[in-house]
Amino acid sequence: MAEQQASAAEDRPSYEAAREELIEVVRRLEAGGTTLEESLALWERGEVLATICQDWLDGARERLDAAIEADEA
């Protein structure tokens, strides 16, 4: 189980990479011209990418909060 989590963390793109891919997914969806199946696949990928971005932001917030708390102590 720990090996799967470590592998998943290694496979996870950086915030910047996930954000750039998410921007491209949104651009393609907004442009249209894709089949329903392609649109659904893009939407699902966008959901995954949005979650990855949010996880990065949440982690950054936690680190900042911990640093501020340590600085105040």
Every domain of the chain and the residues it spans? 35-73
For residue 27, give the amino acid letter: R
pTM across the whole model: 0.79
Nearest to 28 by CA among 40, 16, 15, 11: 40
- Is residue 70 pLDDT above 80, yes or no? yes
- Output 7 or 21, whichever has higher pLDDT: 21
Tokens 């998410």, residue located: 22
pLDDT recorded at residue 50: 98
- 49 vs 25: CA distance, rounded Å: 9
